[in-house]
């Protein structure tokens, strides 16, 4: 009798343990993922749109211009880059001459900002050649060099990547983080770059990080506010976005990322918890949404892995330029190019939809079209 009693107790204990772990496993499977930190995206949506607002004059349209002979001995041929940009602009607008095409977006009296991406040095940044081609065509449209500004977060990186006064005479080259008299700090120890930050425009997110001296001064990483640079809020009337075609893991860092993370401070925390949301939501604020009128992706050289940093073993020549007003659609085409290259080279087996989340979020904010089948994708082949 005692043996039977002990067995019954043991079976009961085993049953309880099994039920506990079964319920625990079910709870693990059915539990919701941790909630994302809240942001102030609702503030951005309160502002009325205008005729320039994303996705711009040609929503869902992307022109891809390929040029088989655009490089020689690992160097970009300027005339080829010029022809690629020109053909892209003419096809996008339907105009017959380049002046008329550019006049769709800019006027001679406007201050035009070219948002390049110089973060990976001269080897893997927006090329000087594509940027020069854009400047030349802006001049044909009547925009004076004194009204053109090349910008990004860090002025030092701009010069390192070749955006200097020797290559671009008469054009202002400026970063939100910029030294004065050779120093980042004034006599009181205050950051000069704070003069370039507009505290009236900000992206707020309910997350923060500990202060890290390695990311100062521009990427100040304490607090919950990411302030917009005065470059976009005060110094330019229109923005031409000129990113480079490269990967970021199994995703890409193109139009939306180049704009969002290049235009606000305190981004370290956002990389960790709100990467996709930041790419989409920062672009929904008027200083970007209403000023970015063109996206011209420099895809002559790029990378398929190891990005967004410069890892030479993963460099490749896509020999292409993408042109469009819709940053989401342009990103979707660029993503398709990069992911296909990764699959071809065996870096990944198939398209992972997680890499496109930021585009879906941007589409939900009416910034453009993320569905590949809905994009009007035109291809031009030059030789």
Residue 13 counted as domain residue: no
Q: Is residue 3 part of a domain?
A: no
Please state the domain count of the chain. 1
Residue 21 clears pLDDT 50, i.e. is over it:
no
7 pLDDT tier (thresholds 50, 70, 90): very low
Residues 100 and 93: beta-carbon distance below 8 Å: yes
Confidence (pTM): 0.89
Question: In this predicted structure, what is the pLDDT of residue 19?
Answer: 39
Q: Which residue has the higher pLDDT, 222 or 207?
A: 207
Say if 57 falls within a structural domain: yes
pLDDT at 189 over 90: no
Confirm if 249 and 355 have CB atoms less than 8 A apart: yes
Is 101 inside any structural domain? yes
Buried-exposed string 163-187: b where 16+ CB fall within 10 A, e elsewhere: beeebbeebbbbbbbbeeeeebeee
Residue 225 domain-assigned? yes
For residue 29, being part of any structural domain is answered with no
Which residue range(s) make up the domain with 53?
Answer: 40-382
For residue 16, being part of any structural domain is answered with no
Domain-located, residue 18: no
């Amino acid at each position: 009798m005692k043996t039977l009693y002990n067995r019954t107790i043991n079976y009961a204990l085993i049953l309880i343990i099994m039920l506990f772990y079964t319920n625990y496993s079910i709870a693990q499977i059915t539990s919701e993922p941790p909630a994302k930190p809240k942001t102030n995206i609702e503030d951005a949506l309160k502002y009325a749109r205008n005729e320039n607002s994303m996705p711009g004059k040609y929503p869902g349209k992307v022109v891809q211009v390929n040029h088989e002979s655009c490089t020689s001995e690992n160097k970009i041929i300027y005339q080829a880059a010029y022809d690629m940009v020109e053909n892209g602009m003419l096809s996008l607008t339907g105009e017959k001459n380049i002046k008329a095409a550019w006049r769709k977006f800019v006027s001679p009296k406007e201050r035009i900002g070219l948002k390049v991406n110089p973060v990976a040095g001269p080897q893997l940044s927006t090329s000087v050649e594509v940027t020069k081609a854009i400047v030349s065509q802006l001049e044909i449209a009547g925009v004076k060099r004194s009204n053109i500004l090349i910008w990004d977060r860090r002025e030092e990186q701009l010069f390192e990547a070749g955006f200097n006064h020797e290559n671009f005479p008469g054009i202002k080259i400026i970063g939100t983080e910029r030294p004065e008299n050779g120093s980042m700090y004034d006599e009181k120890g205050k950051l000069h770059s704070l003069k370039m930050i507009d505290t009236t425009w900000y992206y707020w997110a309910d997350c923060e990080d500990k202060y890290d001296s390695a990311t100062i001064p521009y990427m100040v990483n304490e607090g919950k506010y990411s302030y917009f640079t005065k470059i976009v809020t005060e110094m330019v009337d229109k923005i031409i976005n000129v990113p480079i075609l490269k990967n970021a893991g199994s995703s890409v860092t193109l139009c939306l990322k180049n704009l969002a993370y290049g235009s606000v401070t305190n981004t370290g925390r956002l990389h960790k918890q709100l990467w996709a949301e930041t790419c989409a939501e920062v672009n929904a604020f008027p200083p970007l949404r209403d000023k970015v009128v063109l996206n011209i992706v420099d895809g002559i050289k790029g990378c398929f892995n190891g990005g967004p940093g410069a890892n030479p073993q993963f460099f490749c020549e896509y020999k292409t330029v993408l042109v469009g007003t819709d940053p989401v659609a342009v990103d979707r085409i660029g993503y398709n190019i990069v992911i296909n290259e990764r699959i071809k080279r065996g870096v990944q087996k198939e398209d992972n939809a997680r890499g496109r989340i930021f585009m879906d979020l941007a589409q939900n904010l009416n910034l453009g079209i993320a569905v590949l089948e809905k994009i009007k994708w035109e291809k031009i082949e030059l030789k």
